[in-house]
Amino acid sequence: MIPRLKPTLDGRELQAALTLPRQDDVERFETAFAEKMNQKHGIAFPYGRTALYLLLKALKLEDREIICPAYTCVVVPHAIVKSGNHPVFVDCQEQDFNMNLDLVLQSITEKTGAIIATSIFGYPVNLDQLDSLRKKYPHIYIIQDCAHSFAAQWKGRPVQKEGVAAFYGLNISKIITSIFGGMITTDNDALATKLKDARREHLRPPTLSKSIRRLLYLLAVYPTFWTPFYTLVNCLERWGWLAKFVDYYEEEIIDMPDDFLEMMSPIEARVGKVQLEKYDQIIAHRRHLAKLYSDHLKDLPALEPPPLIEGATYSHYVPKVNNREKLLERALQNGLQLGWLIEYSIPQMAAYRQRYPDQPDCPFSNRFSQETINLPLHTNTLQALKIYSKLKKVIFNEKTDLNKQ
Ligand SMILES: *Cc1c(COP(=O)(O)O)cnc(C)c1O
């Protein structure tokens, strides 16, 4: 069985993780990361959500409205709430899943402190539109959420540079990983200093126990994604035995992991640095597979392929389908695990519905949370073609209710 997500790990990460730690591991990772993203400063954090949480603190935002997509990772509004601010959700747009910037205009009030521009699934945020928004409201901070996009480009302009700062998530499911971990990049010297101060004030140093836990986690990742073993892992997952490890949120609760204020460990930084060296190659391959899928999926009436957009980095490849549950079930019977990503629309989640009952309706976000599936982009070309032919078989064997009207 081919897993739907898989980190691009080989012996080099393992070797890096097993070398003796150095005093400056994290600093070296930060420097290399900033260089890769073409920004002056890189500042590391234990999670992407911690990065956002401390960024809002460093910007002195409190009890303010922070505009963010309704269709994004739920840890984003969690970090906003935890920082003492309030998320204001904006629906996404049909063409590229990104937050609709026209609707953002309508959501701005005198309490708005920042806008989180997210390049979801690696589709670059429309920087022309963002420019005019910024001209109109120069006092509102633009924060780039680059957890999916890293250095995606809008018409040749890298998204991460278009705001006060960009943050990234580096957990095992991201384009590149440092086991867990997060990062902020910025060209703003004063902000970089404030972020480091905030880190000193709020984060405790990583313990040896954290390094060991991260090492064990990494060691467990290698066999987990080994194809024969993965079939077993997948069964356990479906039976609910792995819920503690794979579920990253609960519907009713807004919370953060216990160690979200414990600094990134040197092991993570070393693994991240190795991954960074593979970045270009990983992105090139993802672009290649996205194009390959899109060329083929045209022939499958049940699927609507996601757009191909110049400069996108494709953290995920997400076709839309009508009857997701049925397709997923049939595919699984044929040894193909498809899965989905962002299967929720945040304003509809119990925790947010209760806390902020007056959020606007987000019809696209609601729809995409129900209709998208996720095809793997970590495989080689041959495996991708196999996935396509299995999918084709499943769809053509199922004549009736899978097809899109
Ligand atoms: C993963 C992710 C983050 C950060 O996640 P952490 O798990 O806290 O590192 C932020 N935004 C988006 C859109 C993400 O997918």
pLDDT digits (tens, 9 = 90+) for 246-265: 666 677 789 999 999 999 99
Compute, in angstroms, the gap from residue 81 CA to the centroid of ligand 1.
15
Among 265, 236, 223, 202, residue whose Cα is nearest residue 58: 202
Output the pLDDT for position 401. 56
From atom 10 of ligand 1, which residue's Cα is the shortest distance away?
Answer: 147
- Summarize pLDDT for 126-183 with one digit per residue, the tens: 999 999 999 999 999 999 999 999 999 999 999 999 999 999 999 999 999 999 999 9
Mutate to test the pocket of ligand 1, among 145, 172, 177 (most ligand atoms within 8 A of CB): 145
Output the pLDDT for position 340. 84
Pairing of strands 141-145, 112-118: parallel
| DSSP label of 336 | B
Instruction: Please indicate whether residue 262, judged by its CB atom, sits closer than 6 Å to ligand 1.
Output: no
Compute, in angstroms, the gap from residue 50 CA to the centroid of ligand 1.
10
Mutate to test the pocket of ligand 1, among 52, 72, 75 (most ligand atoms within 8 A of CB): 75
Query: CB-based contacts of 89: which residues, under 8 Å, 6+ apart?
Result: 68, 69, 70, 77, 346, 347, 352, 356, 359, 360, 362, 365
Output the pLDDT for position 246. 60
Q: How far apart are CA 4 and CA 140, in angstroms?
A: 38
Compute, in angstroms, the gap from residue 80 CA to the centroid of ligand 1.
13
Among 339, 346, 345, 332, residue whose Cα is nearest residue 317: 339
Mutate to test the pocket of ligand 1, among 92, 144, 170, 171 (most ligand atoms within 8 A of CB): 171
Query: Please, are residues 346 and 77 in contact by the beta-carbon 8 Å criterion?
Result: yes
Compute, in angstroms, the gap from residue 115 CA to the centroid of ligand 1.
16
Output the pLDDT for position 370. 95
Query: Which residues of the chain register pLDDT less than 50?
Result: 405
Q: How far apart are CA 183 and CA 220, in angstroms?
A: 24
Output the pLDDT for position 226. 66
Output the pLDDT for position 299. 85
Output the pLDDT for position 67. 98
Compute, in angstroms, the gap from residue 333 CA to the centroid of ligand 1.
31
Output the pLDDT for position 7. 82
